[in-house]
Structure 1
Amino acid sequence: MLYQQGKTRSELVLQYELTPSALDRWIKQYSTTGSFKTKDNLSTEDNELLALRKENKRLLMENDILKQATLIMARKSQ
């Protein structure tokens, strides 16, 4: 990383036309997790929220399938 190799914040901001806050966020992410990827830098709460949303989507899909199966079975029994 250029920052770790001795380039100053101001040099990097000017050279790559960044905002100081974006550079600071990237430096923090890289020093914390070694990655710039958003998924690698999510908080515990964010990861939990994503898991809950995924589970909710799965449950809604299962519910729709069961509703359709109920309708099919009701038609067959008539």
Structure 2
Amino acid sequence: MELGALKELVTRLLAGRCESCGRVDEVEVHHVAKLADLARSGNRSPWADLMASRKRKTLVVRASCHANIHGRSPVPAHTE
């Protein structure tokens, strides 16, 4: 990853805003190896459309949104 892209990713992570649902929370990164790995337009899920339209292999998302991307049940929030 080039330095400029890395700085951009860090900035997006520090913002703490899910790029899928827009909520502010703890975030993590969803990553694809290649944009070409995403299904063709029209057959893509909303998160894949978002990544393709931004020409990014990364998407900063909340844990529950990340679980939905991978078809898993959302992870319960950590509480003290």
Q: Tell whether the structures are fold-level matches, with TM greater than 0.5.
A: no
Per residue, is there more helix in 1 or in 2? 1
Greater RCO structure (CA 8 Å; 6+ sep): 2
Kindly name which structure, 1 or 2, has the bigger radius of gyration based on alpha carbons.
1
Per residue, is there more strand in 1 or in 2? 2
